[in-house]
Amino acid sequence: MSDKVIYVMYDDDEALKDSAKKLVSKGVKISEVFSPFPIHGIDPIIGIKNTRLGIMAFLYGLTGLTVATLGMRFFMVTDWPMNIGGKPNFSYLDNMLAFVPISFEFTVLCAAHGMAITYLLRNKTLPGMPAQNPDPRTTDDKFVMEIRLNENHGISEAELDEMLKETGFFELDKKEIN
Amino acid sequence: MQKEAAIREPLILGHKTYHDITEDVCRPIEDKAPKMWYTLFGIALIIGLYGVGSILYLLGTGIGVWGLNKTIGWAWDITNFVWWVGIGHAGTLISAVLLLFRQKWRMAINRSAEAMTIFAVFMAGLFPLIHMGRLWVGYWVLPLPNQFGSLWVNFNSPLLWDVFAISTYLSVSLVFWYIGLIPDFATIRDRAKKPLSKKMYSILAFGWSGRAKNWNRFELVSLVLAGLATPLVFSVHSIVSFDFATSVIPGWHTTIFPPYFVAGAVFSGFAMVQTLLLVMRKAMGLEAYIHTKHVEYMNIVIMVTGSIVGTAYITELFISWYSGVEYESYAFINRATGPYWWAYWSMMTCNVISPQLMWIPKLRRSLLFTFFISIVVNIGMWFERYVIIVTSIHRDYIPAAWSMHFPSHIDIGVYVGTIGLFFVFFLLFARFFPVLALNEVKTILKGSGQSYKESPDYHKHH
């Protein structure tokens, strides 16, 4: 199904945010925003939910802690109860304090790397991926809003053009996609 | 947009726009390297190669080529290890702890400080590895299933804790650094004109496009990584100090070690950041972003951590007498008056007196003075580790075993070589990577930029 995409470019982050607010209040659906840096406060306006990566980091950390605990219990208590100065490790708890540093380090290791890998996968940013920003200037000083006609059935293209004109954009670009 | 008090000095000087920031950071990468860069790189490379040669000779011959003996089994190797790890503490502290405290001045310096951290930890990691003598069995420090039966590494040993701490610290710092670099690589990619550099930066940028959702995730990932890295920074040097503190050697067996080592690490790390940044800002024309105020903030950190270190030295000295333990007192009297008195007093002068000069506003805002003190602190912190390590063990319990440590040319070669290699890495970084977190700096332009702060609209309510 063919669709028309409108790229509206602004030269200021506040300008984009203000116009996004106006457009959304008139019922326009903004499908994407490209910017060189995070625009604070844009997410609720264009309806982006907060990321759940934090929960993932917690789960990865928990996994790390579990693996470290079970691992050290196996190595030091079950498989080869190490006897240091006549003080063998009879149980994990007896020797828990000595295991704190590595438990901590391994928790951090798993949480940080797990989250970072998930982040890259979810963003689809991996080595060799092509750039997807519509204009190279969006990584410099321009801010682009993407509006798809298919997502705005109630509004005609002419109406949309009129609304956009009022927002004082910097440049406007339209593209047919199939 | 976040606003700040009018009396607060702007963090970005002059009349900059978003595009100016991109230009200022990318130009040194896109232009031809200045002659000075080649000169410095050449010098660093020669010194680094000399270090590599020394390491290869050491590996081929055995660690007997170091000036170690039966009494002094650890000297320059472990001194250098702790020195480099200490230096490697500033970067993550700047980017993680200061992020949690919402200190915006970190944005201009975090990128290069983190790069410095990573390279310093590389250098640090080298020493325990070559100290094994047989580098190729280095993987034995990991708990891997093996053909020797139920043979595992000792999880009760601080040396193993160190393996985990340093490798976690290195890899997490690397990830933290790279995640911040991705959007900036995308900026360079989108500006690149030559096909080769476009290709290279495309690969490095991972296809970053700056979507709103990506930025939403980016901010959370930065925050969570900062939250994870903050206790990590403190744990790493605490664990390094456990290598000594959990032993029974007088002079090492000290409960004050963990906080004292952490403060010392931050102290030396910031000194190294100052040394590098004062040169870099000038050479790369970044004076508008890294200016006197940034230097002053860092000098205040140096002053505070230096005072903690000074207090720790004096506490240690007092407790050695107050404990009533004869061996402990001797260890400290011997440090100050024994054959290594010169090392002890160099350490005291460099680390206790010099940071106190930073109380004087004029001095801590002077770039030349800062540069001088940063070198002094780096020297002092090397002596600190040397004093702790060598003076504590050179007087054994049996006087017949008393000894002295004289570095061999391989000791010196390896140490100087790591400094060379460190600068090789740092110069390559400064040449090809964005040395400033340029896209993050843009977020503070309207709140902390000079031209915005001075405009009449700044303090109006919207």
- pLDDT of B13 reads 83
| Per-residue tokens: B126 | 């080298």
* pLDDT of B461 over the 60 cut: no
Report which residue type is found at B117. Answer: T
- pLDDT of A91 reads 80
User: Is A116 close to B164, i.e. CB distance below 8 A?
Assistant: no
- pLDDT of B304 reads 93
Mean pLDDT of B431-435: 90
pTM: 0.91
User: Could you tell me the pLDDT band of residue A1, with boundaries at 50, 70 and 90?
Assistant: low
- pLDDT of B161 reads 93
Give the H or E element holding residue B302: helix B292-322
User: Could you tell me the pLDDT band of residue B385, with boundaries at 50, 70 and 90?
Assistant: very high
* pLDDT of B302 over the 70 cut: yes
For the stretch B102-142, pLDDT in tens is 888 888 888 889 999 999 999 999 999 998 888 888 888 88
How much is the mean pLDDT over chain B?
Answer: 89
| Percentage of chain B lying above the pLDDT 90 cut | 47
Q: How long, in residues, is chain B?
A: 462
User: Could you tell me the pLDDT band of residue B315, with boundaries at 50, 70 and 90?
Assistant: very high
* pLDDT of A90 over the 80 cut: no
| Per-residue tokens: B430 | 């400064």
Separation between Cα atoms, residue B281 and residue A1, nearest integer Å? 54
A-B C-beta contacts closer than 8 Å: 196
B290 half-sphere exposure, CB direction, 13 A CA radius? 30
Delineate the domains of chain B, giving CATH numbers in brackets: 39-134+154-434 (1.20.1630.10)
Q: Which chain A residues contact residue B150 at CB under 8 A? A: 79-80
Write out the residue limits of the CATH 3.30.70 domain(s) in chain A. 3-50+136-177
Q: Which chain B residues contact residue A111 at CB under 8 A? A: 224, 228
User: Could you tell me the pLDDT band of residue B423, with boundaries at 50, 70 and 90?
Assistant: very high
CA distance A25 to chain B (A): 19
* pLDDT of B460 over the 80 cut: no
* pLDDT of B90 over the 90 cut: no
* pLDDT of B27 over the 90 cut: no
User: Could you tell me the pLDDT band of residue A114, with boundaries at 50, 70 and 90?
Assistant: very high
User: Is A123 close to B214, i.e. CB distance below 8 A?
Assistant: yes
CA distance B233 to chain A (A): 11
DSSP 8-class letter at B12: B
Judged by a CB distance cut-off of 8 A, whether residue A157 touches chain B is no
Mean pLDDT of A84-106: 84
Separation between Cα atoms, residue B343 and residue B380, nearest integer Å? 9
Chain B residues 52-91 with a CB less than 8 Å from chain A: none
φ/ψ region of A173 (left if φ > 0, alpha if ψ in -120 to 50, else beta) reads: beta
Judged by a CB distance cut-off of 8 A, whether residue A97 touches chain B is no
User: Could you tell me the pLDDT band of residue A2, with boundaries at 50, 70 and 90?
Assistant: low
Right CATH number for A3-50+136-177 from 3.30.420, 1.20.920, 3.30.70, 2.50.20?
3.30.70
Chain B residues 175-234 with a CB less than 8 Å from chain A: 175-176, 179, 182-183, 186-187, 189-191, 202-203, 205-221, 224-225, 228-229, 231-232
